[in-house]
């Protein structure tokens, strides 16, 4: 797996685990900071992909 695929998967998992904080000011500030400091995050955040944590053995 390449870096970009891995990063996108982690971002999708981040979105799922932080869903309960959407609408809270501190979370909006965090997302804005990440968007301002990472062109990849800014681009991918808009994709709105979600993913659960994979089940199984980590290699």
Per-residue confidence band for 38, with pLDDT thresholds at 50, 70 and 90: very high
**Neighbour tally for 41: CB within 10 Å:** 17
Cβ–Cβ < 8 Å for 44, 11: yes
Reference 7, options 42, 33, 32; nearest CA is 42
- Residue whose pair of structure tokens reads 């968007």 in the numeric block: 35
pTM of the model: 0.74
Q: From CA 51, how far away is CA 33, in angstroms rounded? A: 22
Residue 51 has pLDDT above 90, yes or no: no
């Amino acid at each position: 797996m390449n870096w970009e695929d891995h990063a996108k998967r982690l971002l999708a998992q981040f979105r799922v685990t932080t869903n309960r904080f959407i609408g809270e000011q501190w979370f909006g500030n965090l997302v804005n900071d990440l968007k301002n400091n990472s062109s990849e995050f800014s681009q991918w955040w808009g994709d709105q992909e979600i993913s659960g944590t994979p089940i199984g053995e980590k290699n």
